[in-house]
Every structure is written in structure tokens, then in C-alpha cells.
Amino acid sequence: AKIAALGLRVRRGCTFHGLAFNIAMDLEPFSRINPCGYRGLAVTQMADLGGSSNPALVAPVLVRELCRQLQLAPMSAPAFARV
């Protein structure tokens, strides 16, 4: 099942990117599309998998783990709060 989406756009030599991570939301609209072009691909979220449904709790953990996986220094809490 799909729990996240990454986006990347290159325009005039600039890159734009984003990450969407399903925490606790209405997943019904996904039933009307083919996520990532795959018919029948299920979409899920943290709340349905027994994880936290509080974005304020999930976000710092997600950022910390992404930084670890990408071998980057994590942002400080004040910097993260401004994102």
C-alpha cells in the first residue's frame, strides 16, 4: 500500500520538490484515481497502521529518519518549526 508521495519538478534550471506523508486524513479521494498510475494500488495512512495520528508527533520523527537515511544533519527544533 502507498503511504507517501514524492514530487519533483525542474523548471528553468531550478528544482522544486515535495513530500506528502499520509498521517490521518480522508483517503476517499484516492479511490477515484490510480495512485502513481497503478490501478488498484491501495493507499493507507499512519493512523490505520496503528501509528500516531498527530502530525506534530510524526513530523519530527519523519524528518529525523529521512536525515539519517540520507546521511544529513537533522535540523534544529526551531528551524523545523518554521517549515
17 membership: H or E segment, kind and range: strand 14-21
14 part of the active site = no
What total number of domains does the chain contain? 1
pLDDT at 74: 76
DSSP-based helix, strand, coil % in the chain, nearest 5: 40, 20, 40
Measured over the CA atoms of residue 83, residue 48, residue 64 and residue 41, the dihedral's sign is negative
12: containing domain: 4-81
Active-site residue identified among 6, 36, 70, 83 = 36
Entry pTM:
0.77
pLDDT digits (tens, 9 = 90+) for 1-39: 999 999 999 999 999 999 999 999 999 999 999 998 999
pLDDT digits (tens, 9 = 90+) for 55-75: 999 998 998 999 999 999 876
pLDDT at 67: 92
